[in-house]
Structure 1
Amino acid sequence: MAHADQAAAPPVSSPPAGGRGALFGFACGAGAALIWGVQAVVSRQSAADGLGPVDVTILRFLTAALVLMPFALRRLKPFPVGRLGWRRSLALTLLGGAPFATVLVGGSTFAPALHTAVIGPGLIPVFTAILSYAWLKERTPPARILGLALIVAGIGLFSWRAVLEIGQGEAWRGDLLFVTAAAMWSVFAILAKRWGADAFDLTITLSILSLTLLPVLALLAPVKIAAVGIAPLALQALYQGLLVGVGSVFLYATANQVLGAARATLFLPIVPAITAIASALLIGEWPSLTEVLGMVVVMTGMTVAIRA
């Protein structure tokens, strides 16, 4: 998720850095946010290029698995699940691996790119707080509740136009898929944290185990890869598989270690703004006034919730 991959790295305790170290940490955090912000635009472009959600998922995980395989052979014993074990690894793969990516990209075929960056990432902390209370009995501080309420209000404002156009347009279908993706990722994040999953090892495991699910996904939807030119295929493989699947996780984890978890998470609310700019400049999708206002409210709510 755009997206929701931003939750892939569990917090790592580390004291905030100063001087050049802090600048390096901020650069890594900004780089991760930039990759996530543009990811929604790249996913949206896949539909224009004739690729389906399963095609993009196949390209993403084949590329990521190829790049990460040497690390898997060296780091994970038993291969490819490591200390998480098969049961937990399979559960996390079903929630945060290829099925999640297919649902997320599927939403991009119906809704504008900005919807990917606002609805999914916005609802993840909301669903996580609800599930944490219902499942783990974790109480949410009042300040964070305020932030979560702002997120819900902002998403309501942001999606109002799509709701009104049910029966006429298809954006609402994409929005429902983004809600589904946010719910999947929230459960994934809670389980990953509860099981103490290492961010990099988990990224490797998800990428490799997702390969076993690709044939199943290919049976559920037509594969169009053979009918598309090499340039669109390379774009999705390199961006989704290399930059998102590997690069963004490394950059965010580095920012997390250098700056500390609290500072690193402050990069997350700027992702929708990056998507808004990129989608307007690169694919000509300009948000409406209500979408801009809703996005600002969601970003404010995310910031309040994170700082709380």
Structure 2
Amino acid sequence: MTQFIRTNPILLSSAGALLMTFIWSGWIILSRAGVQSSLTPEDLTVIRFGTATLVALPFSLRYNWKKLSLHKAVIVSLGCGFPYTMFSFYGLQGVKAANAGVIVNGLLPVPGMILAFVVLKERSTKSRMLAILLILAANMIMMGDLSQLSSHGIGWLMLFGASLVFSSYMFLGKRWGFTTRDVLAFLPVINIVIFLPWWFLTDSGISQAPWSDLLLQASYQGVLVSIIALLLTFYALKHIGAMTLSIYFSFVPFVTAILAWIILKEHLSTAEIAGILLCSAGLFLYAYNGRQKTAKSS
């Protein structure tokens, strides 16, 4: 039985995709807790990419930098780099973790579909359009009534920004053919080199944070999310494909809401629960439709 598991890439990829769902959800929870401590969004960002750079240093030193298209590497790095984390962290200062799971992860297919249409001239199916409408409806529900715009509007805009830049990373990373080794080698390094000067100019709360918090953020943000999750994602993409992987990711908003309720004691209204379920349904429909389309074309 053990030997079967070890030699079955489909099973291992599925297990990795399931783990990724919890890693991504846990990242939202940990980041929400982090920005409510003495740590600033700039602190969390420098901890993330500083740690990731140290861990990925062996890959970076052995990497053939001469073959790299620098402008493409910078664009992809920023898509999954400090613009994404800064948008996310500032958004999480005022928006609950469960809401962030819907806004950031739920909106990912929308700019992805727009980029595919504009760049690749790829038309979407009716089922996918329905899925997009469900996702947008879920986001409207999670935002609540218009009276909340004054208190949460900036946070929502920040999370929208996070979703937009991360979509560009997924689209361009695949289009330009970057591999796991490429991204491991240049993404942390490029981000820490560009962001570090800015961090020195800002106020920091690192000196006031307990060592336990710093170690937790460094290990989760810099190692689990930036290194291990990246390896799991590329392994799963290779063996089960992007569409199947995205089906697993469709449960991120739901899992995030459950974890936020358990860990952060964030209570949800009936409308927010409906929004989370609607977003998960829309993401699942979007991913499932894409998988069916891929199967028919192969």
Query: TM-score normalized by structure 2?
Result: 0.89
Given residue 163 of structure 2, which amino acid in structure 1 is its aligned partner? A
Q: How big is the shift at 1:129?
A: 0.8
Name the SS of the counterpart of 1:266 in structure 2. Answer: helix
1:132 aligns with 2:116: yes
1:46 aligns with 2:43: no
Query: Could you tell me which residue of structure 1 aligns to residue 295 of structure 2?
Result: none
Query: Could you tell me which residue of structure 2 aligns to residue 270 of structure 1?
Result: 251
Assess if the C-alpha contact under 8 Å between 1:115 and 1:175 holds in 2: no
Q: How big is the shift at 1:52?
A: 0.9
Runs of 5+ consecutive residues of structure 2 not aligned to the other structure:
290-298
Q: How big is the shift at 1:96?
A: 2.3
CA distance in 2 between partners of 1:290 and 1:50 (Å): 32
Given residue 195 of structure 2, which amino acid in structure 1 is its aligned partner? L
Q: How big is the shift at 1:242?
A: 0.7
Q: 2:57 aligns with which of 53, 59, 69?
A: 69
Deviates more, 1:218-227 or 1:174-183: 218-227
Query: Could you tell me which residue of structure 1 aligns to residue 283 of structure 2?
Result: 302
Assess if the C-alpha contact under 8 Å between 2:244 and 2:287 holds in 1: no
Given residue 117 of structure 1, which amino acid in structure 2 is its aligned partner? G
Q: How big is the shift at 1:21?
A: 4.2
Count of aligned pairs between the two proteins: 285
Query: Could you tell me which residue of structure 2 aligns to residue 89 of structure 1?
Result: 73
Deviates more, 1:23-32 or 1:274-283: 23-32
Runs of 5+ consecutive residues of structure 1 not aligned to the other structure:
1-16
Q: How big is the shift at 1:65?
A: 0.8
Q: How big is the shift at 1:113?
A: 0.9
Rate the CA distance shift 1:93–1:145 in 2: closer, same or farther, 3 A.
same
Query: Could you tell me which residue of structure 1 aligns to residue 100 of structure 2?
Result: 116
1:292 aligns with 2:273: yes
CA distance in 1 between partners of 2:127 and 2:67 (Å): 36
Assess if the C-alpha contact under 8 Å between 1:199 and 1:253 holds in 2: yes
Q: Percent identity?
A: 28
Matches within 5 A, 1:1-308: 20-74=8-62, 76-78=63-65, 83-161=67-145, 163-167=146-150, 169=151, 171-218=152-199, 221-308=202-289
Deviates more, 1:143-152 or 1:19-28: 19-28
CA distance in 1 between partners of 2:184 and 2:130 (Å): 32
Deviates more, 1:29-38 or 1:86-95: 86-95
Given residue 223 of structure 1, which amino acid in structure 2 is its aligned partner? S
Assess if the C-alpha contact under 8 Å between 1:32 and 1:249 holds in 2: no
Q: How big is the shift at 1:216?
A: 3.6
Deviates more, 1:54-63 or 1:215-224: 215-224
Query: Could you tell me which residue of structure 2 aligns to residue 6 of structure 1?
Result: none
Q: How big is the shift at 1:205?
A: 1.3
Deviates more, 1:61-70 or 1:189-198: 189-198
CA distance in 1 between partners of 2:232 and 2:198 (Å): 30
CA RMSD of aligned residues (A): 2.1
